[in-house]
Amino acid sequence: MILEALPTSSANSRLLTLFSEERRRYLLGVIALVFSNGAAAAIPYLTKVAVDLLDSATADASDLGTALSSSEVLNALLGWIMAIVAAAAVMAFFRVQSRVYIFDGGRQLEFRIRNQLFAHLQRLGPRFYGGLSVGDLVSRCTNDIMAIRLLGGPGVLNAANTVIVYVVAMIPMLLLDAGITALALMPLLLLFGLTRFIGPGIYKASYRAQEELSRLSEQATETIAGIGVIQAFARENERQSSFAQVSESYRQVYLRWVLYRAVLLPIVAGMGGLGTLGVLWFGGRAVIDGSLSLGDLVAFLGYLTLLMWPTVALGWLVSMWQRGRAAMDRISQLLDTPPEVNPQLDEPPALALDGAIEFAGLSYRYGDGEEVLQDINLRIEPGERVLIVGPSGAGKSTLVSLLAHLAAVPRGSVRLSGMDINDLPLSWLRSQVAFVPQSPFLFSMTVGENIGFGLKEAQQDRIHAAAQLAGLEAEIASFDAGYETRIGERGVSLSGGQRQRMTIARAAVLNPVIWVFDDCLSSVDAGTAKNILASLSNRTDRSTALFVSHRLLGFEAADRIVVLEEGRIIEQGSHLELLAAGGWYARLYARQRLADDVAAPAETETPLAEELLR
């Protein structure tokens, strides 16, 4: 997902808001900087007094050694040296304090934006995640946020320090000699014009570098996730070549950003050097002419030295500012993406769900694509068991997923117990619908935590009962740590059947009003599946149950069978009614029955699904 590299007003506003929320820390840090730089600015003046003292004593005596032999001169000199040491100690103390406060502000800013972004991402729906890669999201949530932290920490520190240093250094410089001060600072006007010219280029290069880093992260994430497929098809070399191309693209773009910095920093340092040369030339002539004392020149050079690092840091600061703005723009594009479904803040309705489901003129599409569902009109009564079938891509899984309001639906098109799902609180609604997907997803948590994932508080009795229902009790007991066994990312340490049964247990623990089984037993062996379905029959007899399946055999006892094709309902009725109609269902059922009879002509066992539909 390539987004246009242009700064947005919402990003700038959001960045300023984040800074204002940490204004107390920043204010304390700036106050500490004032004291630190005030002490630093006192050092050149104290040095000037000491140098003038020595210069005067040397002029009165025959040489420097004779001047220092005077106890009065020596004591006075030691006093000024101790004052310089004290000023240096004060400077060091407050410099540490300034970094503590300002860097903490940057960390707090990072903490706020990361939590805000994570909370927002959890509200976005399938359409959003279908158009943005995981690698890109990971890059925005890590590298871009780090760039904002650097802007909010070292960036703010150097910006504030530059302003304060220029103020505390320029005032005594102007008092010493306004003309030489003007000559020393003249190169800074050229620097200001240069940064105005080169700044947009740094921003674009930084934005592009972060985009390429997202692509690199995407390649790495996808390769690691699909390493089994890559190795099975012996595509390591091709994948390596593709990764190298993306990596080279990132290197080239990053070097372009580095080039801007490499050009800017020496120019900034050079301009600072020009100012020093001007002071030495004109200041030296003033000392020779007697219009400026040697101590004044030493102090002048000391103040100019104070300005040297802030001047050099200006180039780094411009780069950091542009990089932080680019990062904030990329994050703002996520934060400004509205969620498809806004959670309702109201309390759960007084009327409990009874399991009735109604689709009224429902049409749905993903993004700007063609309609996946077209004018669906279907009413399911409480406690009814409905099989939804159809060819691949007919919209079966999309239809049942909308019951949990995972995506926005037109008002009035989906009702539960007569209530529009747009008016129901999301968390409450989703606790009433148990969705068992075909492709199970487990988290890097313990077995017990995965099964009880939908519970606000762990309830061991319900977790154990759900595991027993899904046929997992004996296997969990064989694990080294039982229910405390960590199963690894996405349940990698479990078999496909174990992962699928764990998703069934995760749904069963909720005691839902509506069950949705989306072809969820495809990875479970026949014997285990039969036991699971027999157990589920006792749990769903008082609930509405929807089954999505490509296999028709075993679902003959369903109260109703709905056939979808190209997003439309083309048939519905009981098993016998659809057989008599001789349509799509009858033809597919006959083919599957024939294939089943050929594969196992002597088998007389009750079909698995009949256990659940009795």
Structure tokens at 530: 């039969």
Which tens digit of pLDDT belongs to each residue from 14-36?
Answer: 888 888 888 899 999 999 999 99
Which tens digit of pLDDT belongs to each residue from 455-471?
Answer: 877 788 888 888 887 77
Only one residue has tokens 């780090």, namely 146
- What residue type is assigned to position 441 of the chain? F
Query: What is the share, in percent, of the chain residues with pLDDT greater than 90?
Result: 8
Question: Using an 8 Å Cβ cutoff, are 102 and 19 in contact?
Answer: no
Q: Is the pLDDT of residue 58 over 80?
A: no
- In this prediction, residue 3 carries a pLDDT of 42
- Could you give the dihedral angle defined by the CA atoms of residues 172, 178, 180 and 184, in that order, rounded to the nearest 10 degrees? 70
Helix, strand, or coil (residue 327): helix
Q: Is the pLDDT of residue 444 over 50?
A: yes
Question: Using an 8 Å Cβ cutoff, are 437 and 520 in contact?
Answer: yes
Only one residue has tokens 């100019």, namely 304
Question: What letter would DSSP give residue 446?
Answer: B
Q: Higher confidence at residue 59 or residue 548? A: 548
The DSSP bridge partners found for residue 364 are: 373
Question: What letter would DSSP give residue 403?
Answer: G
Question: Using an 8 Å Cβ cutoff, are 216 and 250 in contact?
Answer: yes
Helix, strand, or coil (residue 206): helix
Transcribe 328-394 into DSSP letters: HHHHHHHHTS--SSPPP-SPPPSSPP-S-EEEEEEEEESTTS-EEEEEEEEEE-TT-EEEEE-STTS
What's the topology of domain 19-335?
ABC transporter transmembrane region fold (1.20.1560)
* Cα angle for residues 113, 116, 119 (degrees, 5° grid): 145
| The total number of residues written for the chain in this structure | 614
- In this prediction, residue 2 carries a pLDDT of 38
Question: Using an 8 Å Cβ cutoff, are 527 and 484 in contact?
Answer: no
On whether the 357-613 domain is CATH 3.40.50.1820, my answer is no
- What residue type is assigned to position 519 of the chain? D
d(CA 314, CA 159): 8
Structure tokens at 554: 């075993």
Structure tokens at 27: 């204010």
Name the residue ranges covered by the structural domains of the chain.
19-335, 357-613
Which tens digit of pLDDT belongs to each residue from 504-538?
Answer: 888 888 878 888 888 766 555 555 555 655 556 66
Question: Using an 8 Å Cβ cutoff, are 554 and 470 in contact?
Answer: no
Identical fold for domains 19-335 and 357-613, yes or no, is no
pLDDT category of residue 377 using cuts at 50, 70 and 90: very high
Which tens digit of pLDDT belongs to each residue from 337-359?
Answer: 888 777 665 666 767 788 889 99
User: How buried is residue 309: exposed, middle or buried, by Cβ count under 10 Å (0-12/13-18/19+)?
Assistant: middle
The DSSP bridge partners found for residue 569 are: 564
Structure tokens at 176: 């010493």
Long-range contacts, 171-174 (Cβ 8 Å, 24+) = 172/41, 172/44, 172/45, 172/299, 172/303, 173/300, 173/303, 173/304
State the average pLDDT for the chain: 78
Mean pLDDT of 143-159: 86
Buried b (16+ CB within 10 A) or exposed e, 487-496: beeebeebee
Pairing verdict, β 357-365 and 414-416: antiparallel
Question: Using an 8 Å Cβ cutoff, are 283 and 297 in contact?
Answer: yes
